[in-house]
Every structure is written in C-alpha cells, then in structure tokens.
C-alpha cells in the first residue's frame, strides 16, 4: 500500500523558514518522482517542486525559485521542502504527491497517482 504523510506546517512571520516533510512508503524513489503542491481554495493545486533520482530537484513557479529547496533522504524514505524567506502569499495548504516516472516539464495535479494529506502553512505579515 502506498502512503504519503506530510507534516511540518505551522505559523511563521514574514521572512521565516519552515521545512515540510513527506514520509513515503510502498514505492521506490528509483521509479517514482515526488512533488509538492499547494492549494489555497478551490480545486486548483499549484505545482511547486518535484524531485526524481535522475534530475534532482526542480522548482516550477518563479515565485519560489531561490527560496524553496526540495530534497530526499532515501534512508528515511522522506522528501523535504525547505522554505526560506517566507512571504504571506506562501500561505496555503501544502500537499506531497507521487507520480510514476520522472519529473516533467510542467507540474500538473492531474498527473499524480497518490496524494498525502495537507499540511497548513501560515505566514503573517
């Protein structure tokens, strides 16, 4: 059974940092890519970062490049999203997701096979 368990959200002031964790079980990082999405309201989830074994980490929106870093600890079966210099517009519910295959040029929620529960990030101004 594939499970993804996201954690690490919280409330921080503008400029603060948080590290989100996604513990993955039931699949191999050799074959699967893991991504982070965020969702404020409505059905749309914005693709933030993706990591696979060949390409490493990819950040998609310009708004997070230079501030967010995705990484993997294979010994712990965990994917991290380090978020620095947080801004109020980063406030959202963050989700991790798994896709069979490598990270793609664009990151769409509809291509994901498995999802974890969300973790809430709130950045105060």
Q: Is 74 helix (H, G, I), strand (E, B) or coil?
A: helix
* CA–CA separation, 42 and 63 (whole Å): 20
Quick check: 23 and 96 in contact, CB under 8 A?
Answer: no
- Token pair belonging to 1: 């059974």
How does pLDDT run across 84-110, given as a tens digit for each residue? 999 999 999 999 999 999 999 888 889
| Paired tokens of 85 | 């210099």
Calculate the alpha carbon distances from 58 to 36, 43, 55, 68 in Å: 10, 23, 8, 10
Is pLDDT at 38 greater than 90 in this prediction?
yes
pLDDT digits (tens, 9 = 90+) for 106-123: 888 898 999 999 999 999
Those residues whose C-beta lies under 8 Å from the C-beta of residue 112, and which sit 6 or more positions away, are 35, 37, 97, 98, 99
pLDDT at 108: 87
| Structure tokens, 48 | 């933030």
């Amino acid at each position: 059974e594939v499970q993804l368990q996201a954690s690490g959200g919280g409330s921080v002031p503008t400029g603060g940092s948080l590290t989100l964790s996604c513990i993955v079980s039931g699949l191999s990082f050799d074959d699967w890519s893991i991504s982070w999405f965020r969702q404020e309201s409505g059905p749309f989830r914005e693709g933030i970062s993706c990591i696979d074994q060949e390409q490493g980490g990819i950040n998609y929106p310009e708004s997070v490049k230079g501030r967010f870093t995705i990484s993997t600890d294979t010994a712990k079966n965990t994917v991290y999203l380090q978020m620095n210099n947080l801004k109020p517009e980063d406030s959202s519910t963050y989700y991790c997701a798994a896709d069979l295959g490598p990270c793609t040029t664009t990151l769409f929620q509809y291509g994901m096979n498995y999802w974890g529960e969300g973790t809430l990030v709130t950045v105060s101004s």
